[in-house]
Structure 1
Amino acid sequence: MSRFKTPLPLSAALLLSFAAAHATVRTETGLTESRAGASETYRLNVPTEKAVATTQVRLVVPPGVTLTRFQVLPGFTRSVARNADGLITEVTWRGRIAPEEYARFFFQARNPAQPGEVAWKVYQTYADGSVVAWDDTDPGQGPASKITLR
């Protein structure tokens, strides 16, 4: 008696691979939930989905989230934009993620004090100059990652 399940139809398998492949922000352990007001380690997972390398990743920090530190990722340089209060509003990593590879960028942040949902917008630039916006603005591109704060 086999414990293997029947394979998914090709259309369902393609849909699942697309849904799982986009740039995502999750907690360090892979969750889409965290506690309001808590300090959390997050990971931004960025796969290269084209035949050319990813050369830049820009993360827009959701309102109310305070970034506090970053894990060093060899081969990448990091720059930040700050608002008038000195809080980080955007992070840009420059480097190379080859086709069929992915990178994980870890950072620590303090969540907003109020429960709700925060949306992480990510802009992925490829070596050919194209930009994929993971920000909910264009249905043809991709959704922003969302974390629910309880």
Structure 2
Amino acid sequence: MPRWLLSPLTVVAVLVLCASASAHPSLSPPLAEQGTSQTFTLAVPTEKEGVTTTQIELTPPEGFALEAFVPAAGWKRTTDQTGSGEDVIIRKATFTGGATPSGEAAVIQFVGHGAEAGDYAFRVRQTYSDGTVVAWTGGEGSETPAARVEVKAQIGGGSSSLAIIAFVIATVALVAGAIALLLQAGNRELA
């Protein structure tokens, strides 16, 4: 195997191992700013072999408002809600009709925000095609942890000039790395 391939292959292997080590429902981004609406992605992996995920129930915690959903291909959504318009409160969203096979993840996106700073645990109930149900409602160290988002009063706080400097440094490093890889690839012998 060419030496120039070792670094990229190592990075890919680490990412695959990390992804499989955390095979439970997760929310991204895991950090949000208080009162700021943003789009969140819930990934619900099908961990059980030989079956598909056919239903997902998402229950937001108190103090976290679900405002809207992005249509999820292959899934039909129903909501348990009160109010209407800007005053709607979604207590639970149920997604049915999907068939996410083993080794893949169902992806649900929604727009929402946390009213106060704190740790928010989203209860996820996953139903498999064989009728098995897994309630992802436990604490962080449990076998069935809830999907979590940490909401902070303020995120960042750095100035925009620091962000520009960081971006420039990162860009220079990326270009330098690409040049080094190209030079290394140019030095190898052709068969």
Q: Same fold (TM over 0.5)?
A: yes
Structure (1/2) with the larger helix percentage = 2
Aligned length: 141
Q: How does 1:46-61 map to 2 (within 5 A)?
A: 46-50=44-48, 51-61=50-60
Contact 1:40–1:111 (CA<8 Å) still a contact in 2? no
Secondary structure, in 3 states, of the residue corresponding to 1:21? coil
Tell me, in whole angstroms, the C-alpha distance in 2 between the residues paired with 1:140 and 1:67.
26
Match of 1:142 in 2: 144
AA at the equivalent of 1:132:
V
Alpha-carbon offset, residue 101 of structure 1: 2.0
Alpha-carbon offset, residue 41 of structure 1: 0.6
Match of 2:110 in 1: 107
Unaligned runs of 5+ in 2: 11-16, 153-191
**RMSD across aligned C-alpha pairs, in angstroms?**
2.9
List, as ranges, runs of 4+ consecutive aligned residues in structure 1 with deviation greater than 6 Å. Answer: none
Q: Is 1:70 aligned to residue 73 of structure 2?
A: no
Tell me, in whole angstroms, the C-alpha distance in 1 between the residues paired with 2:100 and 2:143.
19
Tell me, in whole angstroms, the C-alpha distance in 2 between the residues paired with 1:52 and 1:140.
23
Structure (1/2) with the larger strand percentage = 1
Which has the bigger relative contact order, CA under 8 A and spacing at least 6? Answer: 1
Unaligned runs of 5+ in 1: 8-14
Match of 1:32 in 2: 30
Larger Rg: 2
Tell me, in whole angstroms, the C-alpha distance in 1 between the residues paired with 2:147 and 2:74.
25
Q: Percent sequence identity over matched residues?
A: 33
Secondary structure, in 3 states, of the residue corresponding to 2:102? coil
Match of 1:130 in 2: 132
Secondary structure, in 3 states, of the residue corresponding to 1:125? strand
